[in-house]
Amino acid sequence: MFGTGSFEYLVFLIITLLIAFTIHELAHAYSAYALGDHTAAAMGRLTLNPLAHLDPIGTLALVFMGFGWAKPVPVNVNRLKYGRFGNVLVSLAGPLSNFLLAAVGVLFYILIQIGVSSAATGYFATLSDFLAVFIQINVVLFLFNLLPIPPLDGYRIVESYMPISARQKVEKYYFYVFLVLLFCMIFDPARAVTFDPFFHFVVPAVMNFLQSFWMMFL
């Protein structure tokens, strides 16, 4: 296995995030389209082309810092079916897409472990290493995006049922909340007391759940 600071890990991380970001944003766009809002479709976001979803600054952060973000999908809530609940469905679509990607990754990982000799090297060993990164990152994205913190999807879900006055007050602090979020992600001391305890417990639990789920059928 490789260390998280290795070049191989960085390549796997970038490939994983390109796939995960693209599917995540496409899920938002398609769910909005299915619920009656064609705003994202008109802007060319109903596509698997990563270039349509990548944010320039987020992409640079991905290359140089190992994490990044994509362009948010524009959604006109007033055009959605089911009103506020429609916005909840659109917001959930992104994180759930990452959960499904992780589930598929776990299935392929298990099949490789079952079907290939433990002594096998080369292609299957590399593929297993990639899938390990792919699964972990997609589980992290699933959980991270459900946090009720702006501008994450979890906040969009909560926001759907917030009074307008409360939403307007929160919007004033979007930028500062985003800076605090970045600070907690980048600097080890801040991350150690914020995200690390949560993800060190919950991420492995979700991964174990997915493995146990598939093993019931294999």
Catalytic residues: 25
Q: Say if residues 91 and 31 touch (Cβ distance below 8 Å).
A: no
Longest Cα separation, the chain: 62
**Cα–Cα distance measured from residue 39 to residue 43, given in angstroms and rounded to the nearest whole number:** 7
Residues linked to residue 70 through DSSP beta bridges, in sequence order: 54
Q: DSSP letters of 152-201?
A: SHHHHHHHTTS-HHHHHHHHTTHHHHHHHHHHHHH-HHHHHTTHHHHHHH
